[in-house]
């Protein structure tokens, strides 16, 4: 089965119906029904952080959503380890001319390691 990495933008758009990318995220989800989604714990933390200022209702919704992702056997969530952090930091340090976040660097490393 083909694997597709899912990053913060997709999750935020899928959760927040007011997001400018919401309809595109719904379309993508429907088109990609035959793939296995992959993400990292760092991405899920970033999603929770991003939506933390959107009020109690959305905070509860995103919390339940993240729990569902973590429990979904069809979803691969790569765990945070000291090694993932250090490898991400190394990529971050070698790409100082870019606007990559540490989460982006960790995600890129995971994609590279998994052949995504």
- Give the CATH number for residue 57: 3.40.50.1010
Q: Provide the token pair at 48.
A: 């929770």
Average pLDDT over residues 17-38: 89
CA 50, CA 31: separation in Å to the nearest integer?
26
Tell me which residue range forms the domain holding 64.
3-114
Amino acid 42: pLDDT: 96
Segment 104-114 shows an average pLDDT of 96
Q: Are 5 and 38 in contact (CB under 8 A)?
A: yes
Confidence of residue 116 (pLDDT cuts 50, 70, 90): very high
Number of domains in the chain: 1
Mean of the pLDDT values across residues 51-59?
91
Average pLDDT value for residue range 87-91: 97
DSSP letters of 52-97?
GGS-HHHHHHHHHHHHHHHH-TTEEEEPP-HHHHHHHHHHHHHTTT
Which pLDDT does position 3 carry in this prediction?
93
- Average pLDDT of the residues in 73-100: 94
Query: Residue for token digits 């250090």?
Result: 86
What pLDDT, on a 0 to 100 scale, did the predictor assign at position 74?
82
């Amino acid at each position: 089965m083909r694997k597709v990495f899912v990053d913060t933008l997709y999750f935020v758009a899928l959760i927040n119906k007011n997001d400018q990318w919401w309809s595109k995220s719904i379309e993508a989800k429907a088109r990609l029904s035959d793939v296995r989604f992959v993400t990292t714990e760092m991405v899920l933390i970033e999603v929770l952080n991003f939506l933390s200022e959107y009020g109690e209702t959305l905070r509860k919704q995103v919390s339940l959503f993240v729990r569902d992702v973590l429990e979904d056997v069809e979803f691969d969530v790569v765990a945070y380890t000291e090694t993932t952090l250090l490898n991400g930091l190394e990529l971050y340090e070698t790409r100082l001319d870019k606007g990559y976040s540490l989460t982006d660097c960790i995600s890129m490393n995971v994609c590279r390691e998994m052949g995504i």
